[in-house]
Amino acid sequence: MRLDGEILGLVHSVSDVTEFVLRAGLECIDETAVGTPSLIAWRGGGPPTSGGELMKLRKVTAGWGEPLQPPPGYFGPDGSVPDEAQRRLILDWAVSQRIASGWRVESRSETQAVLVRGQPVNHVLHAILSLVTCFLWAVVWVVLTVTNKVERVALTVDAQGHVVAVHAPES
């Protein structure tokens, strides 16, 4: 899929299109619009049909408050509340989305994942480098200490299938 000439990825279904449209920040689209040639040009065939219900998308905001919800295919066909297995799949999806954007898994259980981004400053290494360079390296050490941040987030999936992200204070 391309948006304004930028390659977003390969789509195989309407839910894939929904995910890419969501990431692009568009507010809403319905399945009939997916088949409209003026909006989306399908190559290698047309869009698959999936029942014709409306797919509501929300505006994606950048930063900490970014909504992280799975595509519609992760819920039951009738839109029912997900069971434990589906909630684990939703958590797997949320973790994979964060990993793709530079996070790494610090700990993981069936119901929660703690992810971290950034590296702490190695103060022992910088102290040795400062001593070896007659404290010239201390300037670099101070800058790294001031500008470095380590971000942590705990992801869980509630009973309705929504991904809940709790952010730890920056360290």
Give the strand order in the sheet containing 163-167: 104-108, 112-117, 151-157, 163-167
Domain residue spans of the chain = 1-60, 68-171
**CA 127 – CA 132 distance, rounded (Å):** 9
Instruction: State the pLDDT at residue 61.
Output: 38
10 phi-psi bin (left φ>0, alpha ψ -120 to 50, beta other) = beta
- Tell me the pLDDT of the chain (171 aa) as tens digits: 666 566 666 666 666 666 666 666 655 555 555 555 555 655 555 555 544 333 333 333 344 444 566 666 666 666 677 888 888 888 998 898 889 888 999 999 988 999 999 888 999 999 999 999 999 999 999 999 999 889 999 999 888 888 888 988 876
Whether domain 68-171 has CATH 1.20.1050:
no
Q: What is the 3-state secondary structure (H, E, C) of the chain?
A: CEECCEECCCCCCHHHHHHHHHHHCCCCEEHHHHCCCCCCCCCCCCCCCCCCCEECCCCCCCCCCCCCCCCHHHCCCCCCCCCHHHHHHHHHHHHHHHHHCCCEEEEECCCEEEEEECCCCCHHHHHHHHHHCCCCHHHHHHHHHHHCCCEEEEEEECCCCCEEEEECCCC
Q: How far is CA 77 from CA 127, 162, 165, in A?
A: 59, 17, 26
Q: Cβ–Cβ contacts within 10 Å for residue 75, how many? A: 17
